[in-house]
């Protein structure tokens, strides 16, 4: 099952999305990771047929529109984008599934509008990336230097799809079949070959990170049941800031499953089983 292509009209741009499952089922917004797209859920969504699952391409990713020139891709703006998508779909209450960056976005949404969130699943993610506030001037200086030359920033061109697959495989230990799922909506033709559909400005450094106290405040304010699915070879294990957050969310379950950071793509069956069991036990 490939899912149905849909478009979500926000007041300020258009989002591309894919919809799977039962239209009468629990409404679920699925949010992908940085430089991925809705294709990251291609392997797991068909294993969740009882849900009304809509996986969006965040702005600048996949087939969604890019933000206008003169604006930037600040992490905090994704919260408004996703909530606006839920509003456009007519969903007052909904669940969230987020991977990596998408999990961080989902955690802030769940902590900001807890009254609207039925439940949340964070795949190899637990809150936003944070930094010591003392480093804030350094990060802002770096971002300003990069943005000064952003008009020259362009996506690279590749002669064929095989080279793009090989390049993406090297990032994050992701399997070929998983790369292909993401690249189905992540590649476009250009003069001289192929290039990414994603906005090259997405690779600019963040000008400002949350402190860990900021991140923890959002997690503490989540009232919905949450499930953290950690890959045994994922990114949470070696991150002290992330590991210190276990136990902060009042209703949180934690499962470790075999796999790398993209375990929902590489080995979707056990991840889907965990999600089905979790959602079944927390129906409202």
Q: What is the pLDDT confidence band of residue 110, given thresholds at 50, 70 and 90? A: very high
Q: What is the pLDDT confidence band of residue 151, given thresholds at 50, 70 and 90? A: low
| Residues above pLDDT 90, as percent of the chain | 83
**Is the Cβ–Cβ distance between 215 and 189 less than 8 Å?**
no
Q: Show the domains of the chain with their CATH numbers.
A: 4-132+210-281 (3.40.50.1820)
165-185, pLDDT tens digit by residue?
988 877 767 889 999 999 999
100 tagged catalytic: yes
Determine the Cα–Cα distance for residues 148 and 127; give it in Å rounded to an integer.
Answer: 30
**Is the Cβ–Cβ distance between 53 and 42 less than 8 Å?**
no
152-168, pLDDT tens digit by residue?
667 889 999 999 998 88
Exposure string for 6-32, b = 16+ CB within 10 A, e = fewer:
eebebeebebbbbbbbeeeebbbbbbb
Q: Which of 64, 100, 125, 198 is catalytic?
A: 100
Q: pTM of whole model > 0.85?
A: yes
């Amino acid at each position: 099952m490939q899912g149905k292509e849909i478009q979500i009209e926000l007041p300020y741009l258009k989002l591309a999305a894919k919809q799977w499952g039962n239209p009468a089922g629990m409404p679920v917004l699925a949010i992908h990771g940085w430089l991925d797209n809705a294709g990251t859920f291609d392997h797991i969504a068909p294993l969740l047929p009882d849900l009304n699952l809509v996986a969006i391409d965040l702005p600048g990713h996949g087939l969604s529109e890019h933000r206008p020139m003169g604006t930037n891709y600040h992490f905090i703006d994704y919260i408004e984008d996703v909530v606006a998508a839920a509003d456009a779909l007519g969903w007052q209450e909904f669940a969230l599934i987020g991977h990596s960056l998408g999990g961080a976005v989902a955690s802030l949404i769940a902590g900001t509008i807890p009254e609207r969130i039925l439940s949340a699943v964070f795949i190899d993610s637990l809150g936003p990336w944070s930094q010591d506030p003392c480093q804030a001037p350094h990060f802002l200086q770096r971002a300003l230097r990069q943005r000064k030359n952003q008009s020259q920033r362009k996506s690279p061109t590749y002669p064929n799809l095989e080279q793009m697959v090989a390049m993406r495989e090297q990032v994050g230990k992701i399997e070929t079949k998983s790369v292909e799922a993401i690249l189905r909506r992540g590649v476009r033709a250009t003069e001289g070959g192929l290039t990414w559909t994603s906005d090259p400005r997405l690779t600019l450094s963040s000008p400002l990170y949350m402190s860990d106290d900021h991140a923890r405040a959002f997690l503490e304010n989540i009232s919905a049941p949450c499930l953290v699915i950690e890959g045994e070879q994922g990114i949470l294990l070696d991150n002290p800031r992330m590991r210190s957050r276990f136990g902060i969310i009042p209703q949180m379950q934690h499962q470790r499953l075999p796999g790398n950071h993209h375990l929902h793509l590489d080995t979707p069956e056990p991840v889907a089983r965990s999600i089905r069991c979790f959602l079944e036990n927390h129906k409202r």
